[in-house]
Structure 1
């Protein structure tokens, strides 16, 4: 295993490589930016314009300890505090099965009642977990997401399997509940191609099928039953400075505690949200 702290696209990262995979994690936000299993192409999309202290668009931003807008403070930053904090690498080791195991934590406390840590298991498959601990004396609300930007050849030619029959809250229709019928596919006619949904009670795996690349990716959540699906579509994508024409080459599929799956942590209680990602072909 090789590990070094270096610069990638102008930001400080930890770069790790084993016989099974190459990965890069940003010191800013503790954010997994790149994962390339041996013999495969890059899994995550990342904007060519990474400009801290702005949140980094790409890889897997950590939305914590709230997802979306703060429930009570309209001045608080969207998607919480973790993705713009400095993180430290507490532990790295090569496991007997060849996977690289990392443990990371913020350099400073981000919330008076909650502590957080992240773990990564990186190899031909990827596992990622974020664990929250209530270190205070009162109940703490928690909503969060592993905000994965999956790279695709052309979003207009992908399908998401495993959501058929699930209800979803449509943020572009004032949160109206709808029922998914069939696989999800990009639809120019609905919201101009934009999609911003929270699928509810998703217990099983979902599969992202990239018909142009001929690649299928399986995503399984643990500790969360909400699945967020987001793409800006062409009009909004072109208006976002660090997206532009890149809107067509990613789709965000996020395991989450959000919507009806937000949590309340009692004093001394911990909760882990985890995702497992497998390349099927």
Structure 2
């Protein structure tokens, strides 16, 4: 990290037990944790009197090895609980391991680009016995762009899932999500029942936990007087989640009333859209989040 401290607009500090990087440029302000290569906060300088495009819990303790609630946790190589080993960590290991910061680039016309890397270790091989290299490039401009690349560095094919588990700030009583009309989904609250969304907009009136395995990857989140958020990804799956009152009270890192302030609209490749990767092959994905329409 030392060699990047001199880059303009980059501040490095420790938040309890975790190393974080603060970005300040002419386009935006952002905070990124090296644990999980996880962006915690992002605010475009055009967003006056706004909390930004991401929600992060005020109850996080920022302990090593403990997942951070909010921002964009990165789930890999599986989503949810492990299919066989129920004692394995939910959502895989990528979100709670430290990633290596391998490059920071600043250009006056482009803002900052930060590149993080995660490779297999004895710990990851115990949980998922494959050789791999992950790279996450986070571009902090007037919009937030995440580029994810996965390389199979082993000699056998493997299958993986991943999700950008994005938390967005909303007034839940006025929140509307567009982009999933006539899309098939799995309702995790109804014993994984298959269904099809007939509504043009999702409006959340109770606990919701839906997996949309195959989508168009273009979404719009509106919420009363709050800034509209636009999300675009070439990843095909989406998840919509809000714990509502009862479940939020069981989550130690979510305030009892905080469920009213966020919705998760996640992008990735899960369930029927899980991916297989041959030896020496690679795959790339992109997620873009903005306060202006990108279509």
Provide the rounded CA distance (Å) in 1 between the counterparts of 2:233 and 2:203: 21
* Residue of structure 2 in register with 1:32 after alignment: 39
Query: Which of these residues, 188, 194, 200, is aligned with residue 213 of structure 2?
Result: 200
Q: Does the 8 Å contact 2:189/2:208 carry over to 1?
A: yes
Deviates more, 1:93-102 or 1:80-89: 93-102
What residue ranges of structure 2 are gaps of 5+ in the alignment?
Answer: 1-7
Note the alpha carbon deviations across 1:160-205, whole angstroms, 9 max, x for none: 0111111111111111111112210012xxxxx1111111321141
* Residue of structure 2 in register with 1:55 after alignment: 67
Q: Does the 8 Å contact 1:140/1:265 carry over to 2?
A: yes
* Residue of structure 2 in register with 1:21 after alignment: 28
Query: Which of these residues, 253, 259, 268, is aligned with residue 256 of structure 1?
Result: 268
1:113 equivalent to 2:113? Answer no
Please state how far the C-alpha of 1:239 moved relative to its aligned partner: 2.0
* Residue of structure 1 in register with 2:248 after alignment: 237
* Residue of structure 2 in register with 1:190 after alignment: none
1:45 equivalent to 2:45? Answer no
1:94 equivalent to 2:106? Answer yes
TM-score, normalization: structure 1?
0.92
What residue ranges of structure 1 are gaps of 5+ in the alignment?
Answer: 188-192
TM-score, normalization: structure 2?
0.88
Paired positions, count: 273
RMSD: 1.7
Provide the rounded CA distance (Å) in 2 between the counterparts of 1:10 and 1:209: 35
